[in-house]
Amino acid sequence: MYASSELSHLVKTRRSNMGLTQTQVSSLSGLSRATVNQLENGTLKDLSLTRIAKLLGVLGLSVAFSPARPKRASEPGRMSAVERAAKSASVSYTAVLKPRHLAQAIATGTPPAGFEPHVNATLEDASIQLLSEMVEEVHAGSHVERAVLWSNLRKMAGLLGSRRVFWGSHEASRGKRSA
């Protein structure tokens, strides 16, 4: 995993630059020397965020979070998330869903006429990572708030009868209509 190897390299480099041994870092952080060693070598299977923050604090580093940024589709041969999803959604159908129509559906919460099965296939089958990347791309291109875009995806999932547990909230509204 890239983040794990990046963390390993960062900790090892900073500790070394500070002139500290693994034993000193383990003593200062309250972690075992074996844990520090495994982290630096990338062999540590699991470590809580609290313990990572404690270790980084000893080294004058911190943990920071930021929303995922859309990957640049401008790289040669690289499709945007919306392009990948539109292409994947069109595999089983004669008509091809255009990326701009998928992006517009995400921005408005209304699937394009005749492409409801394509949108439903995306909502059912796309990874959460791909959905997140699509939301980031549409947000960047339309400036529609992310929360609105996620709400639009949930709305379409409900309209199209998605059975994916991830969209769950539409089940209650469907049950109310039939009652």
Residues 87 and 46 in one domain: no
Residues 166 and 97 in one domain: yes
Residues 54 and 112 in one domain: no
Residues 144 and 107 in one domain: yes
As separate numbers, helices (DSSP H) first and strands (DSSP E) second, the chain gives 10, 0
Is 88 within the bounds of a domain? yes
Residues 88 and 167 in one domain: yes
Q: Using CA atoms of 24, 35, 7, 47 in order, give the dihedral in degrees to the nearest 10.
A: -130
Residues 34 and 101 in one domain: no
Q: Which of 13-17, 84-88, 138-142, 166-170 has the lowest mean pLDDT?
A: 166-170
Going by pLDDT thresholds of 50, 70 and 90, the confidence category of residue 42 is confident
Residues 52 and 89 in one domain: no
Is 76 within the bounds of a domain? no
| Sign of the torsion angle spanned by Cα atoms 31, 33, 39, 43 | negative
Domain total for the chain?
Answer: 2
Is 73 within the bounds of a domain? no
Is 69 within the bounds of a domain? no
Residues 25 and 89 in one domain: no
Q: Is the pLDDT of residue 1 over 50?
A: no
Only one residue has tokens 């923050």, namely 53
Is 70 within the bounds of a domain? no
**Residue range 16-40: mean pLDDT, rounded:** 88
> What proportions of the chain, in percent to the nearest 5, are helix, strand and coil?
65, 0, 35
Domain that residue 145 falls in: 81-178
